[in-house]
Structures are given as C-alpha cells and as structure tokens.
C-alpha cells in the first residue's frame, strides 16, 4: 500500500509540476491564437523559437539539479520528478527544432542547409537533440528493466547534452553574453559537484582498511 508521501507525490506534486511545465507551451499557443497574454512582440515566430529553446535548456538544467538536491536534502522522493522533467526538456527541444524548420524557415531545405553551413551552432543544437532522443525513448520503467546497467550508462549522455545545449545558446548570442554565461556557470557548478562527489567516494573507498587474507 502506497505511503502518504508516495500519494502526495503522485496526486499533488507530479500534477503540479506537469502543469508548470506546460506554461511555456500555453504561452506560445495563446500568443499565436491572439489570446490576451503577454505579447510575442513584432517577430512572434522568433519569440516562440526562443521560448521553446529556453524552456528546453531550463528544464535540462533543472533535471541535473535533482540529484544534488536529493543528497543535500536527504529527500529521495525528488527522484520521482526527474523523469517528467527530462521528457519535457526533450519535448521543448523538439518543438524548438520543428519551429525552426517550419514557421521560421518554411521547410526551405536549401536555405536551411545554407544556414547550417553558415552557423555551426545549429549543428550543435541538432546534435544535442539527437542525443536526447534515445534518453526520452528509454525513460519508461520497461526500458529500464530491459537495459539494466546499460540504461544508466546511456543516460549519462545528459551531461554531454547539457554542454552542447549551453554551447548552442552561447554561440548564437551575438553581443550580450550575460545570460549564456549564467547558464554556463550553473552547468559548471552542477558538473563540478558531481566530479567532487565521485572523487570523494573514490577517496573514501581507498581509505578503508584492507581485510587480511585468511588461509
């Protein structure tokens, strides 16, 4: 029988997080439909492109925050929210890419190819999306049971994906790099914490006294 904490996460926290993750999509759709929401500006397509891209990167970094928060707070139930955050990060990255292909470039493949060759940050962003796809596909419990130890190795790709995502954002910024710099600092902190913790764990294991062999 599910405990009170499990029921709270299942019926309160998860639905609340689900609705919160839908806010950027609702904003973009409402603006496109002309509803009374914060305006999308003079270039709504570019604005929607930015909304989806920022949402994907924000959710990706929030996903990486779950494990440090779990250790700092001792609340293992936070891991119940990580999968939803990761799936939404992939969804917004895919919407960002589809908005670029469709409304932004009107599926003009020659123009898209020229844009990719002229702006390598597009290739970096596309590579991040490709790497994120198998993580989203294998996010179910059935795939976790099927892949076993390989599942954890596969999902470590999120570190590389986050680096590519921040790089993609930084490289496309022409003048003011304060926001990309903030993303890079947050990512460096998250990755540095993981490296520190791994080194600390390795040091703790090496410091343990060896048990003498018995005859």
pLDDT digits (tens, 9 = 90+) for 137-194: 999 889 989 988 899 999 999 999 999 999 999 998 877 889 999 999 999 999 999 9
Residue 59 has pLDDT above 60, yes or no: yes
Alpha-helical runs (H) found in the chain: 4-8, 14-32, 44-73, 82-99, 109-118, 120-137, 141-147, 149-155, 157-172, 178-207
**Backbone torsions φ then ψ of 36, nearest 5 degrees:** -75, 80
Structure tokens at 89: 């990060």
Percent of the chain with pLDDT over 90: 61
pLDDT band at 214 (very low <50, low <70, confident <90, very high): very low
The residue whose two tokens read 């198998």 is 134
Residues 6+ apart with CB under 8 A from 135: 86, 90, 154, 155, 157, 158, 161
Residue 2 has pLDDT above 70, yes or no: no
Q: What is each CA distance from 207 to 167, 198, 200, in whole angstroms?
A: 38, 14, 11
Contact 134, 161 (CB under 8 A): no
Contact 78, 70 (CB under 8 A): yes
Question: What pLDDT was estimated at residue 61?
Answer: 97
Residues 6+ apart with CB under 8 A from 43: none
Average pLDDT over residues 73-77: 90
pLDDT band at 212 (very low <50, low <70, confident <90, very high): low
Contact 13, 81 (CB under 8 A): yes
Greater model confidence, 208 or 198: 198
State the Cα torsion 176-181-184-188 to the nearest 10°. Answer: 170
Question: Residue 42 CB: number of other CB atoms within 10 A?
Answer: 7
Contact 170, 185 (CB under 8 A): no
Average pLDDT taken over every residue of the chain: 89
Average pLDDT over residues 83-105: 95
Percent of the chain with pLDDT over 70: 93
Structure tokens at 206: 């090496």
Distance CA(213)–CA(169), nearest Å, equals: 56
pLDDT band at 210 (very low <50, low <70, confident <90, very high): low
């Amino acid at each position: 029988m599910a405990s009170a904490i499990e029921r709270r996460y299942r019926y309160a926290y998860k639905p609340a997080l689900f609705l919160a993750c839908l806010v950027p999509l609702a904003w973009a759709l409402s603006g496109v439909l002309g509803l009374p929401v914060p305006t999308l500006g003079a270039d709504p397509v570019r604005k929607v492109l930015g909304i989806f891209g920022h949402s994907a990167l924000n959710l990706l970094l929030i996903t990486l925050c779950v494990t440090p928060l779990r250790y700092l707070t001792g609340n293992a139930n936070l891991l119940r929210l990580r999968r939803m955050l990761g799936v939404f990060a992939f969804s917004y990255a895919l919407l960002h890419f589809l908005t670029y292909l469709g409304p932004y470039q009107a599926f003009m493949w020659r123009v898209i190819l020229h844009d990719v060759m002229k702006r390598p940050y597009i290739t970096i962003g596309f590579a991040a999306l490709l790497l994120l796809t198998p993580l989203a596909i294998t996010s179910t419990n059935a795939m976790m049971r099927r892949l076993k130890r390989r599942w954890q190795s596969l999902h470590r790709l999120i570190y590389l994906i986050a680096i590519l995502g921040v790089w993609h954002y930084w490289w496309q910024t022409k003048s003011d790099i304060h926001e990309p710099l903030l993303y890079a600092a947050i990512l460096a902190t998250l990755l540095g914490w993981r490296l520190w913790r791994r080194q600390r764990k390795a040091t703790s294991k090496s410091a343990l006294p060896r048990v003498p062999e018995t005859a």
